[in-house]
Amino acid sequence: MKRLLLLIVPLIALFGMNQFRVDAQSRLKVVATTSLIADVAKNVGGDLVDVVSLIPANSDVHGYVATPQDVARLVDADVVLMNGLGLEEGLLEILEKNAPDAVIVSLGIHVLSSDPHHHDDDHADEPVATEEADHDDEHHEAMYLGIYGVDVDCDENHKDDAHNKIVVGRNHDEHDDEHEHGACDPHVWQNPLNVMVWANNIAGTFGNLDEEYRDTYLANAQAYIEQLAMLNDEIRVLIDAIPAENRVIVTNHNFLAYFAAEYDFEVVGTVIPSASSMAQVAPQDIAKLVETIRENGVRAIFAEYAVNADIAQTIANEVGYQVAVVRLYSDSLGAEDDEASTYLDFMRYNVNAIVNALKD
């Protein structure tokens, strides 16, 4: 009897090990371009997916350079998730070659122009946000261009009507003339209502690839969307502590326009005059920004953890009164177990930092 038991136990253990391997291999292999998208994908997919992010936490997404390991991950993936709107500027080449069917999770979001001079009469009745990239005395308004994937394609993508998906890097044809082209602000996640769109798009994608668990993905997405709704309510309560006259800010690069539009802030200038942190800063831009800060009584410059803030500090020192340089998380999460290791905590950290800098 003892001999029989000794034979049975290892067989059970072996069966359990093999079953685990089958389960692990059957999970969807998901590659997300950013840690923010990866976090939402994990919430939607749960134990049914294995998710990795190409761009590490605490990184500058705009300046990231792809590695050979990134190519291998793309080739091995069941699905690749990307933000679109020009965010993945350092990854476009390998995405075009190795993940032409990458899914753009921002489709369906009302997108802002990153061009301070863009005005469209067709959208004159839509909400506006101030354009951070402008250093002139007259503050230009960044317009909502329209719905991404419906009437806005932002140049780098083309809708393949035959397959109902966005194909990265395809040239535009005559049918694209009806779409609005132009520079789009990619930082949609700074408004949690936009991340609800991400969750729904990701759930639909996972459900199409893994139909057996479609309802599970949809339920997970709905549960996460409820958390985002509570986060939105929480943010509104917190920013009530900031007087309206203090809601005038400057950022290091143009990354808070969606936040500003949703929560009634005015961004009167940026240190780096672009939606990309890779743009250059001219001396005349610095002088104009110092004057803008003085004229508007700006109390804080909000800079990113992943980007050097030395120029922002120099500008703050030149103003002539105390201007705080406050570090925020912008394009990626913090490290694992950090204070901003999930999207929900990312937003809570940023909002608390903004409130503490601007409240009386």
- 128 pLDDT more than 70: no
- Fold designation for 2-103+155-171+188-231: Rossmann fold (3.40.50)
Contacts of 276 by beta carbon, 8 Å cutoff, 6+ apart: 62, 89, 253
For the cut 60, the answer to whether the pLDDT of residue 23 exceeds it is no
Higher pLDDT, residue 64 or 154: 64
Average pLDDT, the chain: 81
pLDDT band at 251 (very low <50, low <70, confident <90, very high): very high
Task: Judge whether residue 321 has pLDDT over 90.
Answer: yes
Per-residue model confidence (pLDDT) at position 115: 61
More confident of the two residues 21 and 245: 245
Percent of the chain with pLDDT over 70: 75
> Could you give the CA distance from residue 57 to residue 11 in angstroms, rounded to a whole number?
42
DSSP structural state of residue 122: G
**pLDDT for the residue 323:** 95
| Residue 174 predicted with pLDDT over 50 | no
Q: Would you say the CATH fold of 233-358 matches that of 2-103+155-171+188-231?
A: yes
Annotated domain spans of the chain: 2-103+155-171+188-231, 233-358
Range of weakest confidence among 4-8, 189-193, 276-280: 4-8
Strand pairing partners for 157?
168
Average pLDDT value for residue range 310-323:
94
Predicted TM-score (pTM) of this structure: 0.81
Looking at residues 140-159, what average pLDDT do you find? Answer: 71
Closest among 52, 62, 107, 64 to 84, alpha carbons compared: 107
- What tokens appear for 204 in the block? 């639909």
307 pLDDT exceeds 90? no
Instruction: Report the helix count and the strand count for the chain, using DSSP H and E.
Output: 10, 13
Q: What is the DSSP letter of 350?
A: H
Taking the domain 233-358, which CATH number applies?
Answer: 3.40.50.1980
Residue 42's closest CA among 325, 336, 339, 285? Answer: 336
Express each pLDDT in 75-107 by its tens digit.
Answer: 999 999 999 999 998 898 999 999 999 999 999
